[in-house]
Structure formats: structure tokens, C-alpha cells
């Protein structure tokens, strides 16, 4: 495949899928109910705005309410726009690092690739409230859920991508009948099941770090220079990383274009009060999904299990996102939250961060001690383990209470 045709497939395929999905949804909705909006249609701007799960009955409001709503919307939009621009920049750096590692595999380029992935995913995580708009108003913003599935689908099924455990010849990397090009890999993404992930951050994550989070450089460099070397798994693994990094960049740039040219236009057609209500629902849903539910499930391997990010670091990353949005409205009342509510939320988030961040160090130390222990555990170590279990239980309770307190305040304002 030449570069021009490859680039064309990269750019057109995800958009084609999403547009076709939107067209099919439009046909079905028109057949069933002419009044219902679709993600690509012009939203209903009558007095009672339909915004998914919640109907905002009085969208006109007083002049003060409208001014407050406009201020709220501008605050969130500015923050999200900056987050999207920053994420695009870091994802481009990741794509360049994938290309550099493919062309010149070395310890240095591998480390640069890992750092680029961490930075890109951290910046991308700040855009999570955007995707929560799909929950706040499925009719208007369903396509955002599809973009999220291309960019950040997880958890991956390792054996679908590469060798795993005793399955040394499994996955796309080892299947030489599968060409590593944009069209083939896109078609493999969630081919028969949602965990058959072949695109996005977490497919790249597993390929780079491997199942034990320490994939050696020699697993990316095949021996020999003959024509068959390209089909060896070491080189295919490196080639797949480069391709997935490029696809990630192309997909995110398409999302960025849709956000600027379409999604923001859809939002602007709604009243300021309806927009503010949508953003409040989206922010609340973001915290519920990425904090409250994860903590309740005690999902210690959530999201980035291979790159070495701990569960608590993941929680702290999302708390930083929420704190960043709230900090912009801390000096005056808005339609999202009053000054008093914003101050209380900020205090709770700060307390939440102080609770979870030290735990990451504690958990790492504990696991290291257990790994280095002998079969016969000394009595003093047993006592330490009991104390550690008790501390973990206390920590879990603190996590749950603080995350739920933040959610309640986000949801009700009191």
C-alpha cells in the first residue's frame, strides 16, 4: 500500500462508519417520531428543550439567569477547547514517537515512546467530560460515544492483539495472513466482541509494555535482514505500534474537527440555560463513571494496567480534571454551581487527592515486600499484613465516602 492510499483509508473510514450510523438512526427516528432529534440533525429549540434524559422547561429565564448561564457555558467551553488542543498536540507527539521507534528501535526511542504515550493519555483524559455529553443527551451527541470507542476502548483482550501467557502465537501480531494496514486493522476492531480491541490508546499500551509491563527491546527487533524479516512478530509488533499511533492521531483530529464544526454548533442552538444544564449533567456523569463506580467495584486494574499507572493515580488524574473545570468558576456564582458549592467541592477534591495519592506508594511497597518474601512468612510480617489489610479497608471506605460526597454535591448542589 502506498502512503497516499493508506492515509486516505485512515481518514475516511471512521467518519464513514459514524456518518452511516447517524443516517441509519435518522431514518429510524423519522419513521417512528418526526419530533425526535438525532446526533446530526438540528435540535429542537422550542421553549421546552429536549436534552436527552432531562427536559429544561424554562429556558428563557431572567436576564441575570441568562448571563450566569452564558458565563458557565463559556467557562466550560474554554476549558474543553484547551484540553482538546493540548491532547491533539500530545497525540501528535505520540505518533511521531511511534514512527521514530519503528525506524530506529533502541532503548532511547522505546523510552521516548512510553513517555509520549503517558503524556498523550493524560491530556486525553481531560477531554472525558466531552464524551459524557452522549449520556446527557443521547439524541444529540450519540456519535461522541462512537468516537470514544475508537480512541479509548478498554479493557483489551491481550491475546487478540499479541502473544499472551502460554499463547505464544496468538493475536494480530503473529497472524501473518493479516496485513498491517489501516483498512485491515480497522476491520479487526471489535470484530465479534467489544473486548476485541485493535485501535486506540490501550491497544498501543499493551503492544508497548506487554503483559508484565516490561517488554524487552529484543521483542521489537527481528534477527536477519532478508525479505521475510518484515513478517516476523518482532517487526510486525513495531509496525503495528506505528500504524495504531497514526490512526489514533487521525481519529482524534477528526473528532477535533467535528467538535469545532458540528458539536459546538449543535450546543449553540440551545438556550444558554439548556447548555449549562447539559454540561452539569455531563460533568456529574463523568465523575460517577470514572470515580464513584470504579471505587465501588474496587477496580484496581482499571484503565491502564500495563503502563504501570496505579488505580489511585488514575483516580487522581480524573480529580485533577474536575478541579481544573471548577477552578475557573471559583470567583463568582454560575448556573453550574454557586461559589459556596464550588468552594466545598474544591475542598472535598483536595481531601480526596490527599487520601488516595499516598496509597499508591504504600501499595507499591507492600507488593515489593511480598514479592521478595520467602515461602515461610515471619510472624512480624504476618502482623504487618493484617495491619495492611485493615489500612486498605479504611482507605477503601474513605475513597467511597469522599467520591460519593463529591458526586452528591455535583448532582444536587447541596
Share of the chain above pLDDT 90, in %: 53
Q: Answer with the residue of higher pLDDT: 395 or 131.
A: 131
Residue 390 pLDDT class (50, 70, 90 cuts):
low
**In angstroms, rounded to a whole number, what is the distance separating the alpha carbons of residues 233 and 141?**
40
Q: Are 218 and 105 within 8 A, CB to CB?
A: no
What count of other Cβ atoms lies within 10 Å of the Cβ of residue 30? 13
The predicted structure's pLDDT at residue 71: 81
Residue 93 pLDDT class (50, 70, 90 cuts):
very high
Buried b (16+ CB within 10 A) or exposed e, 230-264: eebbbbbbbbbbbbbbbbbbbbbebbbebbeeebe
Buried b (16+ CB within 10 A) or exposed e, 101-131: bbeebeeebbebbbebbbbbbbbbbbbbbbb
Residue in the structure block whose three cell numbers are 508484565: 212
The predicted structure's pLDDT at residue 215: 93
Mean pLDDT of the chain: 80
Tens digit of each residue's pLDDT (9 = 90 or more) over 281-297:
999 999 999 999 988 88
Residue 335 pLDDT class (50, 70, 90 cuts):
low
The predicted structure's pLDDT at residue 311: 85
Residue 116 pLDDT class (50, 70, 90 cuts):
very high
Poorest-confidence range of 153-157, 261-265, 270-274, 367-371?
367-371
**In angstroms, rounded to a whole number, what is the distance separating the alpha carbons of residues 414 and 182?**
50
Please tell me whether residue 154 adopts helix, strand or coil conformation: coil
Buried b (16+ CB within 10 A) or exposed e, 360-384: beebeebeeeeeeeeeeeeeeeeee
C-alpha cell at 100: 521514530
Half-sphere exposure of 60 (CA within 13 A, CB side): 2
The whole-angstrom distance between residue 345's C-alpha and the CA centroid of its chain comes to 23
Residue 338 pLDDT class (50, 70, 90 cuts):
confident
Please tell me whether residue 221 adopts helix, strand or coil conformation: coil
**In angstroms, rounded to a whole number, what is the distance separating the alpha carbons of residues 76 and 82?**
10
Residue in the structure block whose three cell numbers are 525506524: 103
**In angstroms, rounded to a whole number, what is the distance separating the alpha carbons of residues 86 and 83?**
5
Q: Answer with the residue of higher pLDDT: 66 or 300.
A: 66
Report whether pLDDT(8) > 50: no
Report whether pLDDT(227) > 80: no
- Average pLDDT of span 122-128: 95
Q: Are 302 and 316 within 8 A, CB to CB?
A: no
Q: Are 323 and 349 within 8 A, CB to CB?
A: yes
R_g of the chain computed on alpha carbons: 24
Tens digit of each residue's pLDDT (9 = 90 or more) over 233-251:
999 999 999 999 999 999 9
The predicted structure's pLDDT at residue 149: 92
Half-sphere exposure of 219 (CA within 13 A, CB side): 16
Q: Answer with the residue of higher pLDDT: 386 or 88.
A: 88
- Average pLDDT of span 30-53: 38
**In angstroms, rounded to a whole number, what is the distance separating the alpha carbons of residues 67 and 332?**
12
Q: Where are the beta strands (DSSP E) in 169-297?
A: none
How many residues would you count in the chain? 414
Report whether pLDDT(347) > 60: yes
**In angstroms, rounded to a whole number, what is the distance separating the alpha carbons of residues 231 and 172?**
12
Tens digit of each residue's pLDDT (9 = 90 or more) over 74-89:
888 999 999 999 999 9
Beta bridge partners of 167: 164
**In angstroms, rounded to a whole number, what is the distance separating the alpha carbons of residues 229 and 233?**
9
DSSP state of 412: H
Residue 357 pLDDT class (50, 70, 90 cuts):
confident
Residue 198 pLDDT class (50, 70, 90 cuts):
very high
Amino acid at each position: 500500500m502506498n502512503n497516499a492510499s493508506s492515509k486516505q483509508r485512515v481518514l475516511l473510514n471512521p467518519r464513514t462508519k459514524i456518518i452511516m450510523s447517524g443516517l441509519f438512526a435518522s431514518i429510524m427516528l423519522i419513521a417512528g417520531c418526526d419530533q425526535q432529534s438525532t446526533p446530526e440533525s438540528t435540535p429542537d429549540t422550542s421553549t421546552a428543550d429536549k436534552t436527552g434524559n432531562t427536559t429544561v422547561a424554562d429556558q428563557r429565564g431572567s436576564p441575570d439567569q441568562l448571563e450566569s448561564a452564558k458565563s458557565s457555558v463559556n467557562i466550560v467551553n474554554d476549558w474543553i477547547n484547551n484540553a482538546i488542543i493540548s491532547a491533539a498536540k500530545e497525540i501528535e507527539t505520540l505518533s511521531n514517537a511511534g514512527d521514530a521507534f519503528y525506524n530506529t528501535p533502541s532503548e532511547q526511542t522505546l523510552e521516548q515512546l512510553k513517555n509520549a504515550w503517558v503524556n498523550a493519555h493524560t491530556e486525553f483524559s481531560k477531554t472525558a467530560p466531552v464524551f459524557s455529553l452522549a449520556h446527557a443527551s443521547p439524541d444529540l451527541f450519540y456519535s461522541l460515544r462512537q468516537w470514544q470507542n475508537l480512541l479509548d476502548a478498554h479493557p483489551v483482550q491481550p491475546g487478540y492483539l499479541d502473544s499472551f501467557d502460554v499463547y505464544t502465537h496468538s493475536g494480530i501480531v503473529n497472524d501473518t495472513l493479516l496485513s498491517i494496514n489501516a483498512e485491515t486493522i480497522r476491520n479487526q476492531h471489535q470484530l465479534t466482541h467489544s473486548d476485541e480491541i485493535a485501535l486506540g490508546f490501550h491497544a498501543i499500551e499493551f503492544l508497548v509494555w506487554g503483559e508484565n509491563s516490561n517488554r524487552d527491546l529484543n521483542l521489537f527487533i527481528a534477527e536477519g535482514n532478508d525479505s521475510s524479516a518484515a513478517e516476523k512478530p518482532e517487526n510486525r509488533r513495531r509496525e503495528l505500534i506505528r500504524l495504531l499511533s497514526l490512526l489514533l492521531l487521525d481519529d482524534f483530529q477528526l473528532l477535533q474537527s467535528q467538535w469545532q464544526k458540528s458539536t459546538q454548533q449543535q450546543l449553540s442552538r440551545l438556550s444558554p440555560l439548556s447548555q449549562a444544564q447539559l454540561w452539569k449533567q455531563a460533568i456529574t456523569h463523568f465523575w460517577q463513571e470514572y470515580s464513584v463506580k470504579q471505587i465501588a467495584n474496587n477496580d484496581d486494574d482499571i484503565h491502564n494496567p500495563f503502563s504501570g499507572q496505579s488505580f489511585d493515580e488514575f483516580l487522581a488524574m480524573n480529580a485533577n480534571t474536575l478541579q481544573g473545570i471548577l477552578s475557573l468558576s471559583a470567583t463568582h456564582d454560575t448556573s453550574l454551581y454557586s461559589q459556596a458549592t464550588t468552594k466545598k467541592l474544591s475542598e472535598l477534591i483536595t481531601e480526596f487527592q490527599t487520601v488516595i495519592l499516598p496509597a499508591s506508594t504504600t501499595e507499591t511497597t507492600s507488593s515489593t515486600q511480598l514479592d521478595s518474601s520467602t515461602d515461610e512468612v515471619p510472624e512480624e510480617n504476618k502482623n504487618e499484613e493484617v495491619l495492611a489489610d485493615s489500612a486498605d479497608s479504611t482507605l477503601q471506605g474513605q475513597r467511597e465516602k469522599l467520591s460519593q460526597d463529591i458526586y452528591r454535591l455535583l448532582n444536587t448542589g447541596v
